[in-house]
Amino acid sequence: MLDIIMKRVFSANLFIFLITLLTATSTVAAGKVDNFEIEGLISAASPMALISELEKKLKVNVVEINLKNTESGWPVFAIEFDPDQLSREDIEKTIATIEDPAGHFYQVHKGPPINNAAFIDEELKAMEMFAPTAAEMEKVTNPIAPADESLARGKEIYEINCSTCHGMNGNGQGPASHGITTFPRQLWSWYNTDSSTDAYLYWFITNGRNEMPPWGLVLSDNERWDVINYVKTLKKPE
């Protein structure tokens, strides 16, 4: 008899728990989903920090995040909310009040990207003083043909190591590019170039520049050549 009573009590408590869970979920999942392009995601902790604070401050649910493969290059958060209770502007204003663990505030991106703009006079003068590349660049020859196998290897290496800054399609707008002082340049200028550009690309990948690390310490010679072969397939979207 006691066993029967305990089972009924357990069943009743479980039912109450499920009803409570469903009710709580329904207050967040309100039906409308909008995409928000986010600036200020500069570390692995940034997305979760933003999600946690945003869902505490507002009755919203971040249903999806896309950090790399977006059309604009900016990280995109898909946010579900009740349009009768909140507006898009309310969410944008709240995002702007949330501080990243690194000490700056997030914001929703609006308008066209300003990175990859033409060099200004000050940049050109600095380049004349410090030189954008090494004075003497080693003459090298790519030993790996740009066959399908090399392109597949290069694509995998690029997406793991390079796309965070340079973007999945080489647009220079990867998620980490918005948190560094020197925006990565677009890679489309190397599309379908011949062997005359090999030494330049190899030197840059090997030695790095500004915030770009010296990948020669991480990638083997063959891996760097695979990346170069793949970079030459990246072209500006039409």
Residues 129-155: pLDDT tens digits?
444 445 456 778 899 999 999 999 999
User: φ, ψ for residue 192 (rounded to 5)?
Assistant: 60, 25
The residues near 4 (Cβ < 8 Å, ≥ 6 apart) are none
56 is a domain residue: yes
Task: Tell me what pLDDT residue 33 has.
Answer: 94
- CATH code, domain carrying 42: 3.30.70.100
15 is a domain residue: no
How far are the Cα atoms of 11, 14, 58, 106, 217 from residue 6, in angstroms, in the given order? 9, 12, 39, 51, 64
Query: Hey, what are 33's tokens?
Result: 């989903």
Q: Does residue 104 sit in the same domain as residue 181?
A: no
Q: Residues 234, 228: contact at Cβ < 8 Å?
A: no
| pTM to 2 decimal places | 0.50
CA angle 102, 41, 85 (to 5 degrees): 105
Residues 66-111: pLDDT tens digits?
876 777 667 889 999 999 999 999 999 999 999 877 677 888 987 6
* Rounded CA separation 193/171 (Å): 17
CA angle 191, 194, 195 (to 5 degrees): 125
What is the helix (H) or strand (E) element at residue 230, kind and residue range?
helix 221-231
Q: Residues 188, 73: contact at Cβ < 8 Å?
A: no
Q: Does residue 153 sit in the same domain as residue 226?
A: yes
pLDDT for residue 23 is more than 60? no
113 is a domain residue: no
Domain span at residue 57? 31-108
pLDDT range class, residue 209, cuts 50, 70, 90: confident
21 is a domain residue: no
How far are the Cα atoms of 72, 73, 119, 131, 174 from residue 115, in angstroms, in the given order? 12, 11, 10, 21, 11
Task: Tell me what pLDDT residue 47 has.
Answer: 85
- Report the pLDDT averaged over residues 152-177: 87
Could you tell me what percent of the chain has a pLDDT over 70? 70
Task: Tell me what pLDDT residue 237 has.
Answer: 79
Q: Does residue 157 sit in the same domain as residue 102?
A: no
